[in-house]
Chain A
Amino acid sequence: MSIQEQVKSALSGNAFDEASLEKFIESGLPTKKNELWKYTNIEKYWPEFDLASQAPTELSSVDKDPNFSHIFFVNGQFQANESDIAVEVLNESNRDRFLGAKSQLKELLADEPVFNLVESQAKNQYLLELNGVADKPVIIHNVYSSKVAKHSSAHLNVIANANSETTIIESHTSDDDAQSFINNATSFYLKGNAQATLIKMQTLGAQTVQVQNIRALVSRDANFESFTIDIGAKLSRNNISIRLDGEGANCCAHGLYTLQNDQQSDTNSFIHHNRPHTESSQLYKGIMNDKSHGIFTGLIRVEKDAQLINSDQLNKNLLLSKGAHAHSRPQLEIYADDVKCAHGSTTGQMSDDQVFYFEARGVSREKAQKLLAQAFAYDVILKIKNKTARIYAQNILEQNFIALKSE
């Protein structure tokens, strides 16, 4: 059966959103002909579509750091018993609270086939409401356990109510031999003056494929910050779409990918300045070793009536071996005239002079390279404002930091 036929026979008649299913059946998975998927062949990794296989297994160990509130998902399914915060199942009765309120959110990633696939599946659609100023950051533990190639999909819809302030870490982990094909989405609707930070901390096993769809509709004076930190997985893909939809709405979308062997990480971000007086800032850094491949495509669009815009975007790549490569595609579509946009990208090797400076001070070459790569990456982590979350991200990075080989 073709992929479309597999999906159709599994979901037809009980789709979460019939229109999305129809779109997916029409388009199928994106191919290289789709400009936004030019460097990533997702079809290659697709296992037979079989929803029954998405059953969660027991959580093996639950380690709850008291500095955080915890939420657990296993293979996309919410685990109420272990979680500190209640996540609702999104259904007919509460659906309008989120989606109905702002139909505009429906426009974000509407033409992205993998997101349409997430929206097609009735299973694992959740709703989380944020109120007030959170006293500690939330960790959403996403654990994947499938030993054979299986699909896992979940969509978390988050309403950040007016004046709320929350930092959410989405951790994604799987065993080394787990072969899940993960296609998730996290959607935010930030109401007036809400502050929300999402940090995706991905340290999946080397056999896992992950697509993460991040959408945010940012209202007046609200601020959304997203960090996608990809360390593990065979292939990771981020689709990020943020719309600044009220005056004074700001966003940051930062990312870090540290890759080795034949890992690939592909980020496609779209920042849409839809109103005047909005600001966005992006820093994406990639460290590629061995034969790995990092891709960044970032579109910034400023609408005609959106004057007084500030926007910056920077992609910096560090190649640690001759076989590694990076692609960087900054794109601007500006229809207004009072706009400050700075964007750029650089790709380079580690400076031999810097390495020698360390060596001349007694530090081994290997250690020097590791410290320099860490310093390069650390820039992104420093942008995490919440201190607890920043230290957490820093520790994960240090623990997982690629064992650099010199060439």
Chain B
Amino acid sequence: MSILKVENLKASVEGNEILKGINLEVKPGEIHAIMGPNGSGKSTLSKVIAGHPDYEVTDGSIELNINGKMQDIAELEAYERARDGVFLGFQYPIEVPGVTNIGFMRESFNALCEHQGADLMDEEEFRTFVKTKLPTLSMSEEFLDRAVNEGFSGGEKKKNEILQMLIMNPRLALLDETDSGLDIDALKIVANGVNSMKSKFNSFILVTHYQRLLDYIQPDFVHVLYKGKIIKSGGKELALELEKRGYDWLIEESK
């Protein structure tokens, strides 16, 4: 059984069709990379799967494995999808002044606990739990007490996304350009975070522009998105070829 099954997905924003018939199936334990030129619809695809309210699904379906059953989630709110195991790592993480990072993470963690009927964690328990995740990401405790992403450097924001992912332990993680703007050390740390969570029960969709991320996280599939459609799918060797040859030959080929 798969974790995610997207069929003939069409979606638009403010009347403009951005996704024009996407098919994608992700099985447990798989890592899929999505590449493609700027503006091809990569972020849109991740947001539509995560349930961003600005995007309208006009055709097709998005099915998610919820408790062993494939269910259409296109009508679910974003927070319901998150509780059912979908995590979206933002290309541009949002700053939230006035809300501490640890408070933010505890809200989301407890929202998940409540959904699963588990006991909620109080502040102290949660801090202890979060602290166990910090070394993996080389983050200091100080980040927990600052306002969410406020004044964080680009790299710190991305690490913070991965920290949230580790805490929520999703079944499907959509990471939108989590590697962009990272130096090589930060990239290794982020990859380390992903690899530490990877198991045969969960899956990742990595949106990236750079093959170098894939040196540290081995993808099972690479897809190329162009103008709202997947124009090519292959194994990790496809990423290497794209690195050498760019996208033009593929775009030509798809015409």
| Residues in A lying within 8 Å of B, measured CB to CB | 351-354, 356-365, 367-368, 371-372, 375-376, 378-379
Contacts and interface: CB of A to CB of B under 8 A. Distances in A.
Contact of B111 (A352, A353, A354, A361): A361
A375 B96 contact: yes
Contact of B77 (A353, A359, A371): A359
A211 B87 CA distance: 50
B98 interface: yes
11 contacts: A356-B94, A357-B148, A359-B51, A359-B82, A360-B82, A361-B105, A362-B83, A362-B111, A362-B168, A363-B111, A376-B98
Contact of A363 (B50, B79, B93, B94): B79
Interface of B: 50-54, 77-79, 82-83, 87-88, 90, 93-94, 96-99, 104-105, 107-108, 111-112, 115, 148, 164, 168
> What's the dominant secondary structure at chain A's contact region?
helix
Nearest to B170: A362
Nearest to B149: A357
Given A354-B96, A356-B52, A361 B77 contact: no
Contact of B107 (A353, A356, A371, A378): A371
A354 B94 contact: yes
A367 B105 CA distance: 14
A361 B52 CA distance: 12
Contacts of B88: 360
Q: Of A351, A354, A376, A379, which is in contact with the most chain B CB atoms at under 10 Å from its CB?
A: A354
A363 B93 CA distance: 16
Nearest to B83: A362
B207 to A, nearest CB: 15
B134 to A, nearest CB: 18
Given A362-B108, A364-B111, 20 more contacts: A351-B94, A354-B96, A356-B53, A357-B90, A357-B148, A358-B108, A359-B78, A360-B78, A360-B82, A360-B88, A360-B90, A361-B107, A361-B168, A362-B79, A362-B83, A363-B79, A365-B77, A368-B79, A371-B99, A371-B107
A352 B94 CA distance: 11
Nearest to B86: A360
Contacts of B78: 356, 359-360
B107 A367 contact: yes
Contacts of A353: 94
Given A361-B111, A362-B168, A363-B111, A375 B77 contact: no
B108 A375 contact: no
A360 B50 contact: yes
B107 A364 contact: no
A406 to B, nearest CB: 10
A379 B98 contact: yes
B161 to A, nearest CB: 10
A273 B98 CA distance: 32
A100 B153 CA distance: 60
Q: Of A351, A360, A363, A364, which is in contact with the most chain B CB atoms at under 10 Å from its CB?
A: A360
A365 B111 CA distance: 12
Contacts of A378: 98
A385 to B, nearest CB: 19
A358 to B, nearest CB: 7
Given A353-B94, A357-B94, A363 B99 contact: no
Contacts of A376: 98
B16 to A, nearest CB: 18
A280 B121 CA distance: 42
B77 A372 contact: no
A340 B52 CA distance: 45
Contacts of A360: 50-51, 78-79, 82, 87-88, 90
Contacts of A352: 53-54
A161 to B, nearest CB: 38
Contacts of B104: 358, 361
A346 to B, nearest CB: 13
B79 A359 contact: yes
